[in-house]
Structure formats: C-alpha cells, structure tokens
Amino acid sequence: MTTAPRIGVLAVQGDVREHLRALEAAGADATTVRRPAELEQVDGLVVPGGESTTMDKLVRAFDLHEPLRARIAAGMPAYGSCAGMIMLADRIADGRADQQTLGGLDITVRRNAFGRQVDSFEEDLHIHAIGGAPLRAVFIRAPWVEECGPGVEVLATVEEGPAAGRVVAVRQGRLLATSFHPEVTGDHRFHELFVQMVRDARAEDSRSGQ
C-alpha cells in the first residue's frame, strides 16, 4: 500500500489549521513547517493565505527563505492560496521595495487587487482541472494574476462583474496557486488536486532515482 504523501503547511502566519484539515481530508499526512529541518521531511508544501509582507519577513526571521527557494527550485511541489500565490510569484506589480518572494511561478501578481477587506466576495467558478460542479471561491483581499509566462496554465478566471476575465488560479509544472481560499469552504477538490500532484511528483522522482 502506498503511504500518504507528507505535505507541510508553512506555519509562520496565516490560515494554517484550515489547510491542515483540508489536506488530511484529501488523503495527505499533513504537518506544520516552521524550521528548515521540518521542511526537509515533507514531499510538498502549502503556503497559506495571510499577509504577504508579514509572511516574507517571518520566513526570513525563521531562516526559511533560502531553504524554501532551494527546494522549490529543485522541484518540490508547492501550492499557494491568496498570500501564498504572491509568495510563489516571480514578480509583484505593487510590492513593497524590500518585499521578496520565494518565486517559481512565472507570473506577475497584484496585491489586494480586488480591494480592501470590505470588498471581499464569493463567486462560483467553473474549473475544468478539478471537474464536477462549480467551485464556490472565497476572495479575501485577494490578488490577481496580471501576466503569465508561456509555461503557465490558467485554471480559472473571474466570470462575472467588473473583474471578469481576471486570472485567479494557475499551474506551472509542480506549482499551483489560487487567489481564493478553498480551505475555508469544505470543498476539498483543489487540495485533492494538489495531493495528486505531490503523489505524481514522488513517483516521478522515484523512477528517476532522486
């Protein structure tokens, strides 16, 4: 019997518990990651929502910035939701001068693109990659993707209203990101997609002897 993939949730700030529960429901062995030694023990990583500038500072304070960048560059699967999308982006359209990201996704994101906390909203999205009924997406001070590189697959765009057409979910190789928060809705299909990505990556690495 194949063991469940061990997936960490970066636990320096943000909605960590919700992701842990969603990952467990999706079939993963979920754990928190706060130290480089804990990062070394996981097959994949979720970077949760929160506040991207605070998360950036804390990642560096915990001596996690370079280990995270190195593991992502080496092919560790990672999924970022909301602030996590910003952390995985190569470029930020309106970031602070000293703000750094972990990088990996060839995208440009805009922070708080949909407005302030009071402008948070929900919308049903039709997402072929997860199949089934529309997914209820919860946007909370969410970013959107302004530019995608040629290797980036767009998984979802806003379907209605003044932001119609804006990109809110992407995948590039072993990296996945959403502007919205699937961990708060009880719909675990995005986490199931990521768990399967981690399983596939683990099998691929095993075949190649990594």
Kind and range of the H or E run holding 161: none
d(CA 191, CA 30): 11
Domain hosting 173: range is 6-208
190, part of any domain: yes
Q: CATH number for the domain including 73?
A: 3.40.50.880
pTM: 0.94
Nearest Cα to 89, choosing from 43, 47, 140? 47
Asked if the model's pLDDT at residue 210 lies above 80, the reply is: no
Asked if the model's pLDDT at residue 187 lies above 70, the reply is: yes
Q: Is 11 helix (H, G, I), strand (E, B) or coil?
A: coil
The yes-or-no answer on residue 65 being catalytic is no
Asked if the model's pLDDT at residue 118 lies above 90, the reply is: no
Set 19, 183, 188, 192: catalytic member: 183
Set 19, 82, 188, 191: catalytic member: 82
1, part of any domain: no
Q: What pLDDT, on the 0 to 100 scale, is given for residue 160?
A: 85
Q: What pLDDT, on the 0 to 100 scale, is given for residue 19?
A: 97
The yes-or-no answer on residue 181 being catalytic is yes
Q: Can you read off the two tokens belonging to residue 160?
A: 């209605």
Question: How many angstroms from the chain centroid is the CA of residue 101?
Answer: 13
Mean pLDDT of 6-16: 95
Q: How many domains does the chain have?
A: 1
The yes-or-no answer on residue 183 being catalytic is yes
Residue-wise DSSP of 134-157: PEEEEESS--EEEEE-TTPEEEEE
